[in-house]
Amino acid sequence: MTDATRILAGIMLISIVTIEFGGFYLTRVARGLERMTEFQKNFARAGHAHAGVLVSLGLICQLYADQAGLSGAVEWIARLGVPVAAILMPAGFFASSMGREVTTAGKLIILVWLGALSLAAGVLALGIGLLTA
């Protein structure tokens, strides 16, 4: 395991505690202890789900990045594309739905699309790297 993989995986594993906290918050929403519109509930669930799935995928990608033999900028795009998406996409869902009685996405929905670009760049760089290794 490379140092890059060890460090990034350690950071991602620690970040799972924040995802757990989000899950706890969602249990409060489900029990009616937090007031949210249906739109906000849907965006909270989407943000939480994206965070969990993308952190898990980001962990796997670190191990594949070691095997792909990439270097330079392409290596870092492959290593960081998914973890950066794991930050941007949930942030977009949460930030664009903040406030009282919000029923449509705000301008910060752009973070979801920036995260999608980061995700695409990361998995493409890693996938192509693995196929050409």
**Can you tell me the distance from the alpha carbon of 131 to that of 110, in angstroms, rounded to the nearest whole number?**
32
Read off the pLDDT of each residue in 36-51 and give the average, rounded to a whole number: 95
**How many angstroms separate the first and last alpha carbons of the chain?**
17
Q: How many CB atoms lie within 10 A of CB 113?
A: 12
pLDDT digits (tens, 9 = 90+) for 55-99: 999 999 999 999 999 999 999 999 999 999 999 999 999 999 999
Q: Could you tell me the pTM of the whole model?
A: 0.92
**What mean pLDDT, rounded, does the chain reach?**
95
Are 95 and 116 contacting, i.e. CB atoms less than 8 angstroms apart? Answer: no
Burial grade of 88 (CB within 10 A; 0-12, 13-18, 19 or more): buried
pLDDT band at 116; cut points 50, 70, 90: very high
pLDDT of residue 75: 96
* pLDDT tier, 106 (very low <50, low <70, confident <90, very high otherwise): very high
